[in-house]
């Protein structure tokens, strides 16, 4: 079977490959951290840049890619800090992104 995130061979009965599993665990561990900080951790995990990019932009179930989830977490942290109770999901971010309302907010920092 192929990894549903990066399309690399994943092994029998696996929906994702060990590398994507590792990247997903890093994202989960650092929920609410800034996108740049999470990207640094992902790059430090030993995965190649193309694999990190593939992981971040894959959206196998149509509910938003990892990058959208990170952006949603950042937004929710911010809203909590401001005393707001609304919650954004990755799907909300995906819709906003597709409507073109996001300008570079979720882009990796230039180096
Ligand atoms: Zn993978």
In a domain, 83, yes or no: yes
The pTM of the full predicted model, rounded to 2 decimals, is 0.79
Centre of ligand 1 from the C-alpha of residue 22, in Å? 9
Task: Please tell me the total count of domains within the chain.
Answer: 1
Whether residue 103 is contained in a domain is answered as no
Q: What is the pLDDT along the chain (111 residues), one digit of tens a residue?
A: 899 999 999 988 889 999 999 999 999 999 888 889 999 999 999 999 999 999 999 999 899 999 999 999 988 888 888 898 778 889 988 888 888 755 555 555 555
CA of 99 relative to ligand 1 center, distance in Å? 28
- Say if 57 falls within a structural domain: yes
Q: Please report whether residue 68 resides in a domain.
A: yes
Q: Is residue 71 part of a domain?
A: yes
Do the domain assignments include residue 11?
Answer: no
Q: 73-92: b or e for each residue (b if 16 or more CB lie within 10 Å)?
A: bbbbeeeeeeeeeeebebeb
Cα-to-centroid distance, 81 and ligand 1 (Å): 34
Ligand 1 centre distance from Cα of residue 11 (Å): 10
Residue 70 lies in a domain: yes
């Amino acid at each position: 079977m192929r990894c549903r995130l990066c399309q690399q061979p994943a092994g029998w009965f696996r929906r994702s490959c060990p590398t994507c599993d590792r990247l997903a665990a890093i994202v989960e561990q650092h929920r609410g951290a800034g996108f740049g900080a999470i990207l640094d951790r992902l790059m430090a995990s030993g995965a190649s840049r193309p694999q990190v990019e593939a992981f971040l932009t894959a959206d196998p179930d149509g509910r938003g890619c990892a990058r959208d989830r990170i952006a949603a977490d950042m937004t929710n942290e911010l809203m909590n800090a401001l005393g707001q109770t609304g919650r954004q999901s990755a799907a909300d971010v995906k819709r906003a992104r597709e409507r073109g309302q996001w300008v570079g907010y979720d882009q990796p920092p230039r180096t």
